[in-house]
Amino acid sequence: MEREKIETLITKYRELLRSKGRSGIKELSEANVRSDFIDPLFEILGWDISNPEEYDREYSIKSGGRADVALKIDKKPVILLEAKRFGGIPHIDERGDGDWLLEERQAILYAAKEGAKWAILTNFEKFRVFNARTGLTILDIESIYDYTDKIGKLLYLTKDAVVTGRIEKLAAWDERPDIDLEFLELLKNWRIRLANDIYERNMDNEVLKSGDGEPDLERLKDAVQRILDRLIIVRWAEDNLVLEDPNILQRKYNDWKLSPTYNSIVDSLFADRALFDKFNEIHDGKIFERGHICEQVKIGDETLGAIIDEMNQISFRKFDFDILGNTYETYLGHTLYFKDDGTLGLRPSQATRKESGIYYTPRYVVDYIIRNTLGELLKGKTPEEVEKIRVLDPACGSGSFLIKAFDYFKDYYDAENERIREEREKRIREYLRSGGNQLKLDEMNGLEYAAYRDVEKKILENNIFGVDLDRQAAEIASVNLMLKALKPKEKLPLILDENIRVGNSLISGSEEELREYFGESWEDKKPFNWKEAFGEEGFDVVVGNPPWVSFGLRGVGKIERSMDKYFRENYPNSAEYKLSTYAIFMNRAITFLKDGGIFGFIVPDSFLLGRYFSKIRRFILDTAKIREIVLFLEDFWPHGTVGRSVIIILEKEKDEASRLKNKVAVKLSPRLEDIFKGDVKTYSYEQRYFESVLHNRFRLFFDEESKSFVERIEEKGIGLNEIASIYTGVRSKVGQKNIISKEKKGERWYPGLISGSEIGRYWLGYTGYFLHIEPSILWSGGWDPEVVLKEKLLMRQTGDSIVATYDPDKYYHLNNLHSLILENEGYDLRYILAILNSRLMNHYYHLISLELGRTMAQTDIEMIEQLPIYPATPSQQKPIIELVDRMLALNKELNTINTDFDRYVSLYPRVKDSTLKDYIKDLPVSDKEVLKDHYGNPINQIKGKIKAFEIIEEGDWLVFKVGYIFKTSKGKEVLIENVRAFRCRIEDVNLRKFLYYSIKEYVKPGKIGKGNIYERILKIKVPRFAEREEENRKVIDEIMEVYLDEVEKRVELEREIEATDKEIDRMVYELYGLSEEEIRVVEGSK
């Protein structure tokens, strides 16, 4: 929903640009830019822009100056924002050699001085976020068109993300410990240079052209990739002393540099019987096999030589295979493209990555899954049994899971060899202690050291299997595994196209079967024949991180009709509604498992509770024991906002009784690293619990108290759907902005609510918009007068909590709100409203929905319908209804109170403003006190420039605090902060309050000026309404009597609202029979 609203705001900007032109919009004031674009943006991000305790405009900086906006949590600034007019922020490239632009420096310094960690500089066209403590730019949107690509990062600035600390993810966004950034940049650079060189030298080469004669970038990419793979393998082999000559590439490079005319470095690698042939002859392996396209193209010596020279500067011994694999996988996230000048460039293929749902998996996740699948299976196994264990990753990417599985197998054999060695030594010691002759040890039977040798080859041949749709990814996985087994003078087992295959794991069948779905293009789907490739025996372990694609979501392309049909007909246990490939992968993976086999995937948490994942949940419950589910609250994926993740470990099990009584271990890991530190909440309960939940939702409870609470509340209530019906709002077929207007444009334009922010708990604030209710341009639902024009409740659709109110005025509304109407006459809407808004029901909702703290959280109608409403009698409902009526009335009254001080002052004509000195000149000397600085110097003897200012009311006294800059005797400027400079006692309440609110409202620290600090304070301007003091005081009294009365009313109303809210909560607790301990838990939750 935030994404849609931001896109609407972008559309508004584009329309403004189109109507006024670039020069025209530059004439708009900074204030207009802020009110029309920046303020709405932060409202979309969940900030209450009408509340100065949360969104404080013209915020005073203690050391001087004003920030345009301070975003506050608990009344303390956490983000300071500087706003500029359109065109008012130079491009980031204009920094030159400096760290920051002048505008950026100001924003950062303001934040730093206020103790806020974050600073923002924006004019909506550009949007930059800084860590004020380090000065680093952590988000930069340099064009209005960048919002779409970077909206995931922008959502880390929601109020909820700031409150929960998820904003910290922005600061660490580019800290990628799993990736060697320098190597990644080199890989990308080598790829571009090699691609351009080959393209320029082979424009007429048919091997690089497609069937229509056009350049085929895929073939070019294959050639480039294979060359780089070969070079990296050789360099790794050199540095790890696998080759007899550990400097062979350097030597060939030197020979070429000494005599480039007679020593082609390309020939020294590619020619018959040259290095690549020799490597293949000695070590074998598909990567060096003759006949690849890379041998059919011309390559320039200069380009290849420069790449080899740069490779020689890198120590490949420093790479473990996690780093090498993940760096390679990130490198695959960039794609070649033709630039405007006809040359090839490289750019991040984020769109492709998003559509294919591919993200490299952090090493800790890989290790955890392998440890708890293969690691568990290896325990207690004999070597003969281990040799038969088959591990599959059906979407293997660069091979990170298979590499880690290899390590576990290798560790097993190393431990077994150590056991054999220790056993042999033990027998020798026993033989010698029994009087045996040491000279005859070689003649003893059973003392041979029968170690397991060549285990690397055995592992690759017998234990490791992988498939990927992307040939380059499969090739990289093969390279990574090949390097694991590479030894001097030894041949490698064939990996690529043997145990590591290219194909679509989800599509298989005979040619005849596939033609029925895909016609003549069936081969383009890269179908994979599992039985032919890997046999029929199945797998003991299936692990991985399948593509996270849910078709129908924004930013994800539509699935082909033929593919949709294939999935629905071949995967009835997982394909439903808008297909999700990871659910189908889960289905496929479990099918491949042998009985007793173990499955471990990391997937989105949406399958746990989502209505349209009920089939895969049912399939899991019918086929497997759920060993554990780990929920991560942190969105730790480095490529964008992906959402929360879940690790699920299953064991295939035929026996139903065993499945039902199986204990599921549920773990909560707030951050990625917590699971590995053991800093997690863990709780176990029987799998049969999921059988009792609607749609078999996998509700996760992390302690007994939470599970018991939910069960008790459900026992006490009946489903809301038995009492009421809930409907979504208006959805336009022609774009939401085209059905919204500030004016009533015709008969079918009706008053409507366009934002969730127009309602709150027990209040509704219509902002004056109209909606075009023309059924022909609207999707069904949301506009039905049988719903809208009835007495109803309204609920926010976005947010992690239930926020509801009563709608007596029968407004239409967009689909960012839900409508609720009664179907059971035994209940009153106001009673339902009290239950929905209660602390108890929100605590229950948080426990069953997992929405609390989620980015872009939503209240799902289907889940709201199941909320357990206590079946109260009319007499039980009555006192609650009375309190709800009171809450509605109090909130309505509260919204009518205006405590904007300037509004009251502006009601009276003013003469020339007076100074503070004029107002306090008649006070007794004892009521005016000049204070001292931190060093004991009287303020009236200090000169400086006032940078910060604050007025405080302490009983009858007004205290003036300043921060100022003064020059030392040596001319050095020093900032002195938080100095109580002056105070005066004013017993007249109206006058004291008037001065307090006037100075607070109108005085800007940077405008107080420089000079004697005390004198500058006395010269502060204060409104004056008449020349004669008596008349002036009369006006002040009139203003303050009304204003202070309104302030007092607001304070009193807020107290009454809080007390009434608590009384409603108390009554709800009584209805559901909560204990004192349960009440304490509910009250202590959010």
pLDDT of amino acid 322: 60
For 718-874, CATH gives 3.90.220.10
Between 17 and 725, residue with greater pLDDT? 725
Pick the closest to residue 220 from 228, 302, 232, 274 (CA basis): 228
* Rounded to 5°, angle at Cα 221 from 301 and 361: 120
Ramachandran region, residue 936 (left: φ > 0; alpha: ψ -120 to 50; beta: rest): left
Average pLDDT over residues 690-699: 94
Phi and psi (nearest 5°) for 527? Answer: -60, 150
Give the whole-number percent of the chain exceeding pLDDT 70.
91
Q: Is the pLDDT of residue 960 over 50?
A: yes
H-type helices in 155-297, by residue range? 159-164, 168-171, 181-201, 217-239, 248-258, 265-270, 275-283
Structure tokens at 427: 């027998």
Q: How many CA atoms, within 13 angstroms, populate the side-chain half-sphere of residue 823?
A: 13
**For residue 337, what is the enclosing H or E element?**
strand 334-338
**For residue 843, what is the enclosing H or E element?**
helix 839-849
Domain limits of the chain? 2-171, 181-348, 363-499+538-546+596-702, 718-874, 911-1024
Pick the closest to residue 363 from 401, 416, 394, 391 (CA basis): 401
Structure tokens at 759: 């309602």
pLDDT of amino acid 77: 93
pLDDT of amino acid 353: 43
Q: Is the pLDDT of residue 132 over 90?
A: no
Task: Count CB atoms within 10 A of the CB of residue 581.
Answer: 22
pLDDT tens-digit profile of 756-787? 999 999 999 999 999 999 999 998 888 888 89
Average pLDDT over residues 1000-1021: 92
Which residue in the block uniquely carries the two structure tokens 């029994």?
434
Ramachandran region, residue 831 (left: φ > 0; alpha: ψ -120 to 50; beta: rest): alpha
Phi and psi (nearest 5°) for 1055? Answer: -65, -45
What's the farthest any 2 CA atoms get from each other in the chain? 124
Q: CA-CA distance, 865 to 667, in Å (whole number)?
A: 28
Determine the distance from the C-alpha atom of residue 232 to the mean position of all C-alpha atoms in its chain, rounded to a whole number: 34
Ranges of beta strands (E only) in 624-723 are 624-632, 645-652, 663-669, 681-686, 718-719
Residues 6+ apart with CB under 8 A from 1075: none
Averaged pLDDT of the chain: 87
pLDDT of amino acid 177: 36
Question: What is the pTM assigned to this prediction?
Answer: 0.70
Beta 500-502 vs 464-468: how paired, if at all?
Answer: parallel
Highest mean pLDDT among 159-163, 553-557, 584-588, 796-800: 584-588
Q: Is the pLDDT of residue 421 over 60?
A: yes
Average pLDDT over residues 152-176: 73
Task: Count CB atoms within 10 A of the CB of residue 524.
Answer: 9
Q: Is the pLDDT of residue 403 over 50?
A: yes
Tallying the residues shown for the chain, one arrives at 1086
Q: CA-CA distance, 1024 to 1035, in Å (whole number)?
A: 9
Sheet of 928-930, strands arranged across: 928-930, 973-985, 957-967, 943-954, 1010-1012
From residue 561, give the alpha-carbon distance in Å to each of 565, 568, 584, 790.
Answer: 6, 11, 17, 41
pLDDT of amino acid 357: 42
Task: Count CB atoms within 10 A of the CB of residue 326.
Answer: 25
- Nearest-10 Cα torsion for 210, 214, 217, 221: 60
pLDDT tens-digit profile of 472-521? 888 888 888 888 888 787 777 777 778 899 999 999 999 899 999 988 88
Pick the closest to residue 812 from 731, 881, 931 (CA basis): 731
Give the three-class secondary structure for 825: coil
Q: CA-CA distance, 1007 to 182, in Å (whole number)?
A: 49
Pick from 339-353, 516-530, 681-695, 969-983: least confident: 339-353
Phi and psi (nearest 5°) for 643? Answer: 110, -175
Phi and psi (nearest 5°) for 917? Answer: -60, -40
pLDDT of amino acid 355: 43
Residues 6+ apart with CB under 8 A from 595: 652, 653, 654
Which residue in the block uniquely carries the two structure tokens 């093969």?
478
Q: Is the pLDDT of residue 81 over 70?
A: yes
Average pLDDT over residues 810-837: 95
Estimate the crossing angle of helix 1076-1084 against helix 704-716, to 10 degrees.
110
Q: CA-CA distance, 773 to 781, in Å (whole number)?
A: 11
pLDDT tens-digit profile of 185-223? 888 889 899 999 999 999 889 988 887 888 888 899 889
Pick the closest to residue 397 from 324, 455, 325 (CA basis): 325
Pick the closest to residue 801 from 752, 841, 833 (CA basis): 841
Q: Is domain 363-499+538-546+596-702 in CATH 1.10.3290.10, yes or no?
A: no
Determine the distance from the C-alpha atom of residue 905 to the mean position of all C-alpha atoms in its chain, rounded to a whole number: 46
Residues 6+ apart with CB under 8 A from 872: 827, 831, 880, 1071
pLDDT tens-digit profile of 98-114? 457 778 888 888 888 88
Phi and psi (nearest 5°) for 309? Answer: -60, -40
Q: Which fold has domain 2-171?
A: tt1808, chain A (3.90.1570)
Between 394 and 674, residue with greater pLDDT? 394
* 363-499+538-546+596-702 and 2-171 share a CATH fold: no
Q: Say if CB 464 and CB 501 are below 8 A apart.
A: no
pLDDT of amino acid 178: 44
Ranges of beta strands (E only) in 515-608 are 539-544, 593-604
Q: Is the pLDDT of residue 148 over 80?
A: no
Residues 6+ apart with CB under 8 A from 14: 144
Phi and psi (nearest 5°) for 112? Answer: -60, -40
Give the three-class secondary structure for 752: strand
